[in-house]
Amino acid sequence: MHLIKALLLCSSFCFYCSAGAQDYFDYQSTTPCDPRVVKAMMPYWTTEFGNPHASHAFGERAAFAVSEARQKIARILGGKTTEWIFTSGATEANVLAICGVMHAAPQNKKHLIVCATEHKSVLETCKSLVRRGYVLTILPVNQDGSLSLDLLKQSIRPETMLVSIMVANNEIGVILPIACVAEICHKHGVLLHTDATQAIGNIPVSVSSLGADLISFSGHKIYGPKGIGALYVASHVKIRPLLYGGLQEKGLRAGTVPVPLCIGLAKALEIAEEMRPQEARRLAFLQGIFLQRLQRLKGWRLNGCPNQRLPNNVNISIDGVDSSDLLMSLPDFALSTGSACSSEAHFSHVLAALDPDNIMPPTVLRISFGRGTTEAAVYRLADRLIEVVQTLRITKPAGGKRICKTTKGKIRS
């Protein structure tokens, strides 16, 4: 018995050690929950456990806390309190925005427009609507991931109901001019949904500055809990629910509201907004020193526009090395590869959209910085990356034949 206990203790300790030994560079994938957020949520897991939809004192206290959280979100991001709906995350917020609006659209308004670099939760949702008779235009992007506003204008038709274009990209960090997109949409009587998941906490975001009719975001990208997000739905928008069976969230999302997560989301947003001006400057500095240090290496490029970019994102293509070899040679760092050409499952539709007619770059790394990233860790990563790439180019050179499958299903080699 003692031996089993000792083994269990040892394995959890090793797991902790190995995870803790890595420098984390994947903040765009997820962030740790801020201890202040955990503290704010704590009573609502335990003593204040009431169902906010119940009419007794426990329920009333929970309902009050949820209402305060909603007010906080509206105070920070704008819009009326009643225009913010809690969801399980940005995926659900995106799906609710798109399907909800299209399902409520008149018969002669079956067309929607998205950008080729949208998150899969937007793209795949739109494709599922196409299978049900809706019409979709996917706007291509320029080589730097920017958007042609003229192309957007040309794509709007009398049947267009909705445009969905993200504020900032999750792979290449490119920031799109949503206020201009909103102006174009509204001039043509079209609704705009925007996915602000990667932008919030990194650049200024508000209902009024974006001008969008629907806005999605998620808790776990802003040092909040996983499993919670929110959707702004302007009061003039007609929308149908995805989930039926209860009148919660104004009938737009049936199901008991997860009280602790709502409190956590609002607290995380509050902290993120307080920290943003200073933290964004710090992250931009780290981004700058990383790119500067990488000048010591030849044969790499920055993917996505260098100027209109999130301060926490670097996305690079590196020549002459295989992505899995590269990642395996960097065990001390938690990184993500945007595109692994050798693995169709990991193929990046975003990178493909930047350069649809060319052979995809061999290896892509997405490096994202966050609150825990230090200058020393950035130098450590840059120096180790240079060293590993130079070694692999000699010992295990990649190149030659490589099969990449594009989103169009066309095989490129």
3-state secondary structure 283-338: HHHHHHHHHHHHHHCCCEEECCCCCCECCCEEEEEECCCCHHHHHHCCCCEECECC
Angle at 66 between CA 62 and CA 68, to 5 degrees: 115
Helix (H) or strand (E) holding 247: none
The only residue of 72, 111, 119, 253 in contact with ligand PMP, by rule CB under 6 A: 119
Please report how close the Cβ of residue 269 comes to ligand PMP at its closest, in angstroms: 14
Please report how close the Cβ of residue 219 comes to ligand PMP at its closest, in angstroms: 7
Q: Smaller CB distance to ligand PMP: residue 34 or 195?
A: 195
Closest CA to 174 of 203, 210, 201: 203
Q: Smaller CB distance to ligand PMP: residue 197 or 348?
A: 197
Please report how close the Cβ of residue 169 comes to ligand PMP at its closest, in angstroms: 7
CA distance 382 to 293: 6
- Mark whether 115 is an active-site residue: no
What residues contact 175, with CB distance under 8 A and at least 6 apart? 167, 168, 169, 199, 203, 308, 309, 310
Q: Smaller CB distance to ligand PMP: residue 207 or 388?
A: 207
Which residue is closest to ligand PMP by CB?
89
CA distance 348 to 325: 18
Q: Which range, of 194-202, 259-267, 286-294, 331-339, touches ligand PMP by CB under 6 A?
A: 194-202
31 is an interface residue for ligand PMP by CB under 6 A = no
Please report how close the Cβ of residue 311 comes to ligand PMP at its closest, in angstroms: 16
- Please list the helix, strand and coil fractions of the chain in percent, rounded to the nearest 5, in that order: 45, 15, 40
Binding mask 86-115 for ligand PMP (x = CB under 6 A): ---xxx--x---------------------
198 is an interface residue for ligand PMP by CB under 6 A = yes
For 65-110, strand residue ranges (E) read 84-87
193 is an interface residue for ligand PMP by CB under 6 A = no
CA distance 331 to 347: 22
218 is an interface residue for ligand PMP by CB under 6 A = yes
CB 255, CB 245: distance < 8 Å: yes
Structure tokens at 346: 């990991």
Q: Smaller CB distance to ligand PMP: residue 213 or 322?
A: 213
166 is an interface residue for ligand PMP by CB under 6 A = yes
Residue ranges in 226-245 that form contacts with ligand PMP under rule CB under 6 A: 229
Please report how close the Cβ of residue 199 comes to ligand PMP at its closest, in angstroms: 9
Q: Smaller CB distance to ligand PMP: residue 88 or 323?
A: 88
> Exactly one of 126, 185, 341, 404 is catalytic; which is it?
341
Count of residues near ligand PMP by CB under 6 A:
13
CB 389, CB 330: distance < 8 Å: no
Which residues are tagged catalytic?
341
Positions that interact with ligand PMP (CB under 6 A): 89-91, 94, 119, 121, 166, 170, 195, 197-198, 218, 229
